[in-house]
């Protein structure tokens, strides 16, 4: 029997400390017309790719993976499928920042000095992006993705060892449970990361059952996997606010960045409560000290929900260009739902 090897071309990037692995070649064209259809095919029939690149010995669950695919929308220059420890989020701010940076820096999308518009197609729809390019380098990315809306407020769940935990449920590309950290005696600093991860894990396990899994336009979006811990808000002047924030991704990951979708969810909840207005911004600060800026744009409508458009601004750094070899005969590689999605010929 011939030895079975495949190769994948990757660009590793990081935004706010969260690593995104951009898969640029080595994967067969996926069935489906839209990026959403391609993502659901991969989730159903090709999840081995996600597990391979996010598990030892090839990767780590704290990473993310973004597979570049053909877009369906005529405005989009590329499509991308997002894969994380929890599965397949339909949109992600940090992954969009990383993907756009990688496509520009690699020349896949020709880069222009100054402010440059880019449109990418995520499974949730179009991400409209402004890249700031200085000296041939992408210095920042501002992305407008999914409008966020408050789905439920004032919910509670009994969490073992923690008691009653109050939370609000917000959609911003995924459903987020929004928890006021101080209400439960937690800070959001480097020394709090282990405690926040433990609370996030216990909370998600207790809260998942019975929570909404449907989006009015995108259908079934899966069980709750994201928790956003919010710290106190500080007014820093001229319509700018600042707040420590931390996002937990089930199972077991506390993001190094404050996360784009977490920040968008925070903006929607604050706008609902009259704490922020159109044109004002919130700078979220992660336990590691990395920062994203979310800016309120204006109202939208998602089904029957009043929603909020916002932008997220952050930066990404290139870390590595690599070609990895996938040995399908390696007992550590589960090829059962992987082999058919990998290109039979070596990636060029």
**Structural contact between residues 290 and 256, judged by C-beta atoms closer than 8 angstroms:** yes
* Cα angle value 6/72/39 (rounded, 5°): 50
CA 322 from centre of chain: 22
Scored b (16 or more CB within 10 A) or e, 133-154 reads beeeebebbbbbbbbbbbbeee
Which of 15, 20, 64, 92 is labelled catalytic? 92
* Cα angle value 323/324/329 (rounded, 5°): 150
Phi then psi for 5, rounded to 5 degrees? -130, 145
Cα separation, 312 vs 143, in Å, equals: 5
Give yes or no: 92 in active site. Answer: yes
Q: Which residue has the tokens 């990361």?
A: 193
Q: Which residues are catalytic?
A: 92
């Amino acid at each position: 029997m011939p030895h079975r090897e495949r190769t994948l071309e990757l660009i590793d990037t990081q935004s706010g400390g969260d690593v995104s692995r951009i898969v640029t070649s080595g994967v067969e064209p996926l069935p489906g017309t839209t990026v959403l259809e391609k993502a659901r095919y991969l989730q159903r029939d090709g999840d081995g790719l996600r597990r391979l690149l996010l598990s030892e010995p090839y990767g780590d669950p704290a990473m993310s993976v973004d597979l570049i695919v053909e877009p369906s929308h005529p405005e989009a220059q590329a499509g991308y499928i997002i894969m994380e420890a929890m599965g397949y989020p339909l949109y992600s701010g940090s992954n969009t920042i990383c993907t756009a940076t990688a496509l520009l820096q690699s020349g896949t999308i020709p880069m222009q000095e100054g402010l440059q518009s880019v449109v990418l197609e995520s499974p949730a729809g179009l991400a409209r992006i402004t890249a700031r390019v200085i000296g041939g380098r992408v210095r920042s990315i501002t992305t407008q993705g999914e409008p966020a809306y408050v789905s439920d407020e004032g919910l509670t769940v009994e969490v073992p060892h923690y008691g009653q935990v109050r939370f609000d449920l917000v959609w911003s590309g995924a459903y987020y449970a929004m928890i006021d950290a101080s209400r439960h005696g937690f800070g959001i600093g480097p020394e709090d990361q282990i405690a926040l991860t433990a609370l996030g894990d216990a909370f998600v396990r207790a809260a998942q059952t019975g929570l909404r899994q449907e989006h009015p336009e995108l259908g079934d979006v899966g069980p709750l996997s994201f928790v956003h811990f919010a710290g106190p808000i500080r007014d820093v002047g001229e319509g700018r606010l600042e707040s420590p924030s931390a996002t937990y991704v089930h199972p077991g990951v506390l993001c190094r960045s404050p996360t784009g979708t977490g920040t968008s969810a925070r903006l929607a909840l604050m706008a609902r409560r009259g704490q922020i207005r159109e044109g004002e911004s919130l700078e979220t600060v992660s336990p590691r000290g990395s920062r994203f800026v979310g800016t309120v744009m204006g109202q939208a409508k998602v089904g029957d929900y009043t929603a909020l458009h916002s932008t997220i601004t952050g930066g990404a750094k290139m870390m590595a260009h690599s070609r990895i070899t996938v040995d399908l005969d390696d007992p550590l590689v589960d090829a059962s739902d992987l082999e058919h999605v990998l290109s039979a010929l070596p990636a060029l």
